Amino acid sequence: MAVNLEDKSKMVVTEGSYAVAHAAKVCRPNVISAYPITPQTHIVENLSKFMADGEIPNCEYINVESEFSAISALVGASAAGARTYSATTSQGLELMHEVLFNAAGMRLPIVMTIANRAVSAPINIWNDQQDSISQRDTGWLQLYAEDLQESADMLPQLYKIAEDKEVLLPGMACMDGFILSHVYEPLVLLEQDLTDEFLPAYEPEYVLDPKNPMSFGAFAAPDTYEEFRYLQEQAMQNALPKIEAVAKEFGEIFGRFHGGLIDEYRTEDAEVIIMAMGSILGTIKDVVDEYRARGEKIGVLKVRAFRPFPKEQIRKAIKDAAVVAVLDKNISIGTNEGALFTETKACMYNARCDIPIIGYTIGHGGRDIRLETIAKIIEEAKEVASSGINTESQFVEVREELL
């Protein structure tokens, strides 16, 4: 992250959830729906306090009776022309599943923060990214934040991308639960004036309005359904350059850049590249710095956009490496692979580039990820570079005594 020197004077020490709630506030939402679930709850609590203090103009805050209604209310609100926000995680996000497809299919630019958490059973409130990864096919944009500042900065960026007329898709701003949502760090709270300059008011072309009646969510038979799906895919593809452009523009106005679709860290001449999403990148970078200090050519590829999936950018970033290790805080049970690993492999297959790629599924249910573990993965990757793949994808550090 390129930090503007001026920023230091503006920094305050605050909780991640507060910074995110504040960011949602300065985006001037019109309808917020809220339902408690750890570790997301502090976000909607902070927003309710802003409401109680009259700090969010032209906004209604709905205490819904379930996450199913949280997202459903936003479908209605967005179709009526409102800028909408909610936050959820894990069981709440899974409960929304059916509505997520619906919001995307109706092309409603709803924005939600996901404080990533493991899914039940066993019930577990700690961080991994299984919840949002499991929603990857619902047609939502998905960005993953590396740190607190990015979790907040992502919101105005995501509104701008989602509301773009060539995109019009809902988006999830994913931040690791607890690790980012509950940690206090110095950061800059988004300024209202700069946010207004960056993010124009939402002016939808089609709204529910008795003065100009339109039908939303009609029934599509086989002769038209496929085109709706095709257009959603087109919209996702349109979002690729927008995500890059919006991140750049954000940097120009706010002086902070967290990457566009991806962000490369010391990859210039890297022989080993470690890929991941979210807060784990901080740990990886620390380890890689040590390797670099010893003169070893190790780099890190941050994947910031998981939907749309930045195939081109990933190909370009890793094609010259000798080996790539992909770390996933999720797994598709039955493949023994995490989603980023599977998709990275898939996008390299027809690229006439035959570098070995290995996968690690790691940090399930909040299992601590230690520096030594990352170092061990790097060592194994180096092995693969010289002697080929032994194990394509694996769990890291399973406690044998519990099995």
Site for another protein, rule CB under 8 A: 30-31, 33, 58-60, 62-66, 68-69, 72-82, 84, 98-99, 102, 106, 208-210, 212-221, 224
To the nearest whole angstrom, how small is the minimum distance from the Cβ of residue 51 to another protein?
11
Closer residue to another protein (CB): 76 or 251:
76
Closer residue to another protein (CB): 121 or 218:
218
Nearest to 217 by CA among 87, 116, 101: 101
How close are the terminal C-alpha atoms of the chain, in Å? 41
Closer residue to another protein (CB): 218 or 333:
218
Closer residue to another protein (CB): 21 or 384:
21
Closer residue to another protein (CB): 77 or 384:
77
| Residue 196, SS3 per DSSP | helix
To the nearest whole angstrom, how small is the minimum distance from the Cβ of residue 194 to another protein?
23
Closer residue to another protein (CB): 106 or 253:
106
- Residues 6+ away with beta carbon under 8 Å from 299: 264, 265, 266, 267, 268, 270, 272, 273, 274, 288, 321
Closer residue to another protein (CB): 71 or 188:
71
- Quote the CA–CA distance of 279 and 283 in Å, as a whole number: 8
To the nearest whole angstrom, how small is the minimum distance from the Cβ of residue 25 to another protein?
14
- Exposure class string for 181-197: b at 16+ Cβ within 10 A, else e: beeeeebbbbeeebbee
- How far are the Cα atoms of 19, 77, 90, 157 from residue 170, in angstroms, in the given order? 21, 13, 18, 12
Strand positions, DSSP E, 330-403: 357-361, 393-395
To the nearest whole angstrom, how small is the minimum distance from the Cβ of residue 385 to another protein?
50
- Quote the CA–CA distance of 118 and 177 in Å, as a whole number: 9
To the nearest whole angstrom, how small is the minimum distance from the Cβ of residue 220 to another protein?
5
- How far are the Cα atoms of 19, 81, 130 from residue 52, in angstroms, in the given order? 18, 24, 34
Token pair, residue 330, equals 């999720």
To the nearest whole angstrom, how small is the minimum distance from the Cβ of residue 112 to another protein?
14
Say what angle helices 41-52 and 16-26 make with each other, to 10 degrees. 50
Counting Cα atoms < 13 Å in the Cβ hemisphere of 288 gives 24
To the nearest whole angstrom, how small is the minimum distance from the Cβ of residue 54 to another protein?
14
